[in-house]
Amino acid sequence: MNDLEQSPVAGKRVILGLSGGVDSAVAAILLQRAGADVHALHMTNWEDDDGYCTAADDLQDARLVCERLDIPLHHVNFSQQYRDQVFEYFLDEYRRGRTPNPDVLCNREIKFGVFRDYAKRLGGDLLATGHYAIATVVDGCGALFKGADKGKDQSYFLHAVSAQALAETVFPLGELQKDEVRQIARDSGLPVHDKKDSTGICFIGERPFREFLSSYLPAKPGPMLTPGGEEIGTHQGLMYYTLGQRQGLGIGGRDNASEAPWYVVAKNLDDNALIVAQGEHEMLFSNGLIGTDTSWIGTPPAGLNDDFRCTAKVRYRQTDQDCVIRLLDDNRVEVRFDQRQKAVAPGQFVVFYRDRRCLGGAVIDEIG
């Protein structure tokens, strides 16, 4: 399934989201080779000049790529929209003691929302990005499939993008492996061919996470308790911990305790208590979950209160897990897994698949 073959681009104006990294730069090359009229659009989403975010360097790299490929570069600032539609959600989830994933919201609200609208004003027929995924049309409806590179597939982060947007999108890297992308960049003399992949969230950058979050949300230390209620330490603020976390607890060795590692197994917001347990404790595992704010790519695969089988993952790097899903009212879903799942974190996303096709996903709200 070649994405450029499924969505012919020859003679069409394609507005490419050019980040300044190697992936979107190679996407530009492939679009040019396919005969597209490529225009690059670089967006700025964060303006705080504190030395951690690389936005200025990325814009300069985007300029160098466009000069090398002789394509026009447009620049747009979506910082306010990002703060309103993504960052405030990010902070609100942490206030609730949850662990959000802003990349999903950034794709839906920014890259395939206001960015897509801006691309249309530039005369774009299609939108393109350097994501490792495949967008195509199935039975007249936009559809999303996993990228061929299992280690780089980004369909998890794209599951909330609408079918309408996917029908007008091209992912040129969908059938490529990462090493192939870097080879194309080297062979083409791109200045970013060996640029390190970006990781994490731009507005946090390389700084310590706690340092960043504490500048927006006041930390409230509290007791660190075992499931039996024994106080064994003090946490620095519930927002700094996620379920299943092992590192950074500061518990160390304890008298009359085994050497098994300690894990975060629950948060008690009412008492501001962090619950920790040793080893593969029962509280680390769950048989299912309730998801809210469900996003389906196209028509839901079942009716209200109907069951259907598929696979799902509750974190980006997880392998697909067999499950049964039931659609509930208020845009909720109930997910029951064939095998118990470890460290399912409210605020993260559960994403549904059938083979390589991504069906959609939901925000993890309750676990059980």
Q: How many of the other CB atoms lie within 10 Å of CB of 281?
A: 16
Does residue 286 contact residue 341 with C-beta atoms inside 8 Å?
Answer: yes
Q: What's the CA gap between 225 and 276, in Å, rounded?
A: 6
Q: What's the CA gap between 33 and 10, in Å, rounded?
A: 9
Q: How far apart are the first and last CA of the chain?
A: 38
Set 202, 310, 323, 358: catalytic member: 202
Tell me whether strands 349-354 and 357-367 are parallel, antiparallel or unpaired: antiparallel
Does residue 312 contact residue 261 with C-beta atoms inside 8 Å?
Answer: no
Reply yes or no on whether 202 is catalytic: yes
Reply yes or no on whether 106 is catalytic: yes
Phi, psi of 314 (to 5 degrees): -105, 0
Please name which of 223, 219, 221 lies closest in space to residue 231, comparing C-alpha atoms: 223
| HEC letters along 295-323 | EECCCCCCCECCEEEEEEECCCCCCCEEE
Q: What's the CA gap between 179 and 182, in Å, rounded?
A: 5
Set 53, 66, 106, 310: catalytic member: 106
Which residues are identified as catalytic? 106, 202
